[in-house]
Amino acid sequence: MRVPNDPLIALEVVDDGFDAADDWIVEHVQPHDIVVTADIPLASRCLEEGARVIGTTGKSFTEDNIGQAVATRDLLSGLRDAGEITGGPPPLKKRDRSRFLQQLDEMIQSIRREHDKNRVAS
């Protein structure tokens, strides 16, 4: 895997094991970090640590909607296990990419505003 030569980017290799990468992310995520994931349990864990979370289609995960997302995931997982649903998620569309970029920009701007507000208050 090529990693850009940038001091803000690092390649982290974690141990083998179920959810080892997720565990590493949760252990290192901080409030105001932005996590991009389609993994709903990981999204939930990152929200608990104070991070902002956005899905690959541009849907933001929040404290208000993560419970429903987990429940829907569990229901669909059960239907897949029972053979009622086959196949994966639909491919990303231009609309998804546009929504993702808009939501990501909004998250970044929100974090900047909070940072500026905290800096002025100090």
The string of pLDDT tens digits covering residues 22-48 is 999 999 999 989 999 999 999 999 999
What is the model's pTM? 0.82
Distance CA 37, CA 68 (A): 17
What does each C-alpha distance from 94 to 1, 58, 99, 106 come to in angstroms? 26, 11, 9, 18
Average pLDDT, stretch 41-56? 96
Indicate the burial class of 46 (C-beta count within 10 angstroms; 0-12, 13-18, 19 or more): buried
**Average pLDDT, rounded, for the chain:** 91
| Rg of the chain, C-alpha, whole Å | 17
